[in-house]
Structure 1
């Protein structure tokens, strides 16, 4: 493989901001949807195609159907930045399914082949690092985008070109509408900036909501010792049909606060047999139902044991969005809610985004996904 930009390359990153930024304060901005998939840099030289993850690890073997499509649909020689995603039409309009995408990373070649047919992935490109014999990495984004549009014109899937706009009002609409298709927010790129690997040179605007959830247990921090025990993460739950369901974790605390929380929560410690999740003890080495404290291939080697607590405390947390019935990312602790009864904390309080058709975002018909 002989390209003007060669692997390994760390992708350009984004820093979080509140609300759609003013383009005038950044020398002009280009807005685009924030995809919820695996960040992926593509290196293509003829029939040679390599896919690299955000941390430069190879992804090529896991997505043979995407590699085949890239050989057919992408320019002969190019380096692209984009995202691999899986979209399913489980409830009408297609939407992104991150948990299904995670299942595509598997050591068995037979399972990779089966999943490539059962849950095929797609690729959406949003930046250009090289085309032919020319590197575009040092050029401003406005030039990179123009060349990318020309090079990828007419794509109808499974390779796509992301939409962009320079209108902040339209970006605001996207921020609210596109979540219904499983997207993660909006990204803003300065029009005059070069491609800056591993630098937070972009801006991301993500959804943030709050929920009152039940504290059901905690895990100790990896630096915890018998002399100085520290809380690592809180295990959170919500009630559904009278049963406490695991919804996610909250984990961002200072060391001082970790020590305080560990001490504060000791009176609530209970034997697992007396805990609502006690019936899941038999699954401590497998994870058929995504229950807390159990293993999956994403957590192999990690200690997922937890200290069960009487589910008497309610905590308000901030979260961005849901993945099925779980928080997609780690929730942020906001405050204790001593005024709330734990049994009153259910899923009905969570905001449901209005459904939105992913094919409208990609400007293709449903056959393209």
Structure 2
């Protein structure tokens, strides 16, 4: 491959659809993006390993490495995007469009565009000093299905074949280093009652009435975890519990036989997924005692633990120095808790604003390109070439 400029790479990445979705009709393979990255990395002398996910056939991870042995820097990102609502986009989501000093496109900041920044930095280093003059290995990791199951990162962690010393996950943070973030649990509370005619309430068990008791317990749990746990670096310093969706019953003159509530919980460092799950089960236990087997607690997806880093790590210090920004804690979650299991210092730091993620007309502000390019280049250079 001949040298590709930044905009050409950006355009090619946006033009390769790679939506991951829980709805099968919207779900796509990410192979086209993986093939692009493999070609670009091979041209720079990287060795390439492409693996199909065991849990999601047709989805792929890419690990491209330059240099021998363990250690060095891993630059990681996901290749998939969220679905989009065509009626809310003014631009073609799969065509990089420039207007008002912005680059529009699906994945422009969340987060296929990050790979263009990385390859551009590697090409510049190669032109200046020769990329083969590295002192510590460089790994580019591209994962699948972050937007749905995080299966790509989970499988990388389980395989445990990669052993970098440092990892930068290029989610959009406006190049502010993120050293910790909350986790994510989505849980269904399903009440199974007994349907019947509304004229004889005692002949059935009204699932909505039972859910009323459950909600009272959940609101108590919400206050308990708010008052018991705190991590002051977060804007919202406590674990949160949100009642997000509820549905029950089918007609006004029938006793409701089934009611389901979906809740969202956001653990912070210091409280594990297992602890929150136990608290949730404990909260509904009295109701199950009163109405045996009426309350079921079901994970809607594999829970994502909180990511806990340290502001004292050498990678955080380097990122703060280069960006001029103090490391932050954020409420959203990423692949960091899984990739951190590889034993590396880990931060989340990438171009673009999180405010644009999952939004119609997603864009990268063009005035941020050059500063972001320079920071990424220096992160690579000072980690692997000095």
TM-score, scaled to structure 1: 0.25
TM-score, scaled to structure 2: 0.24
Whose helix proportion is higher, 1 or 2?
2
Which protein has greater RCO, CA pairs closer than 8 Å, 6+ apart? 2
Whose strand proportion is higher, 1 or 2?
1
Between Structure 1 and Structure 2, whose CA radius of gyration is higher? 2
